[in-house]
Amino acid sequence: MAYTIAFFGTKPYDEASFNDKNKEFGFEFRYYKGHLNKNNVLLTQGVDAVCIFVNDTADAEVINAMAANGVKLLALRCAGFNNVDLNAAANAGITVVRVPAYSPYAVAEYTVALMLSLNRKIPRASWRTKDGNFSLHGLMGFDMHGKTVGIIGTGKIAKILIHILKGFGMNVLAYDLYPDYNFAREEQIVYTSLDELYHSSDIISLHCPLTEATKYLINDYSISKMKDGVMIINTGRGQLIHTNALIEGLKNKKIGSAGLDVYEEESEYFYEDQSDRIIDDDVLARLLSFNNVIVTSHQAFFTREAMGNIAVTTLQNIKDFINHKPLLNEVKR
């Protein structure tokens, strides 16, 4: 009998990618569009493993219900695992695995796309010309060459981003709790303090994990230390930025622009078509009202290569679990 996996929160592109890669594995799939939660966890009855994404809920109640249904493995098809109660999983005997990296190039390249789009005001220019307005008023940007970019967190994605930005001729300041000085020498970048990074950067891009220490890293106090007109980019985690503080910074012109592929309350909106309803999140609605802010729906990862890597790594994690092999991508409490 084939090993059965229940997928939650799936879209057509998920099914296409996993079906294609499953030719090499031979698992049985059950796809569910709804996000995993306490109301539909009964759908995990009769399956061996459950596969979820960022907006699914795997709290203690859901974990315990899955365990009661006989589920032994929870496979995340993403890097983040803050939606999983790891203590409950360990106590219930459910192993948790994830996909730590799918395509660092995808996220790094998208980060640059946000920078360029904000700087050169490409969305506004495109809207204007479609309406027959070919004026240049209000569209002036700046040369990125010679400017200083501050990178917070220097993992795989950030390192690729730094390499790209060095190609623009930018000066790079970096901050990381665990600096990679060999990389810094190779790329001729400078590790510095957060205060110096805030003070000196024309653009700040966030690439650190979300922890208790980094939650709301960008807040009223840190924004007050930044250059006037600073550009802030977040393709990491929504809660790295205190959104109300960001809005205040935008209103008083301290922040010149912001590119956000993540939002701290995104689970209610992102990945779904909300065009036929009013956005009742006042904070998100306010963000969307700024013409110097770009908000996208957590899509930085979304390339053909990344989707293929997600599917292969997820299915290999499951195969390794079945065959009692070392789990390279296991997440433990």
Catalytic (active-site) positions: 237, 266, 298
Nearest to 56 by CA among 14, 95, 126, 8: 8
Residues near 303 by beta carbon (within 8 Å), at least 6 away in sequence: 103, 105, 106
Residue ranges of alpha helices (H) inside the chain are 12-21, 60-68, 86-92, 104-119, 122-130, 156-167, 181-187, 194-200, 220-224, 243-251, 282-288, 304-322
Residues near 15 by beta carbon (within 8 Å), at least 6 away in sequence: 7, 29, 31
**Secondary structure letter of residue 100 according to DSSP:** S
125 vs 5: CA distance, rounded Å: 46
Nearest to 248 by CA among 236, 262, 235, 232: 232
58 vs 201: CA distance, rounded Å: 39
CA distances 181 to 108, 174, 314, Å, are: 20, 11, 32
**Secondary structure letter of residue 24 according to DSSP:** G
The phi and psi torsions of 36 (rounded to 5 degrees) equal: -60, 130
3-state secondary structure of 266: helix
30 vs 19: CA distance, rounded Å: 11
Instruction: Answer for the pair 186, 166: CB distance below 8 angstroms, yes or no.
Output: no
HSE (CB half, 13 Å, CA atoms) of 266? Answer: 24
Round to the nearest angstrom and report the end-to-end CA distance of the chain.
32
- Both tokens assigned to 81: 């695992």
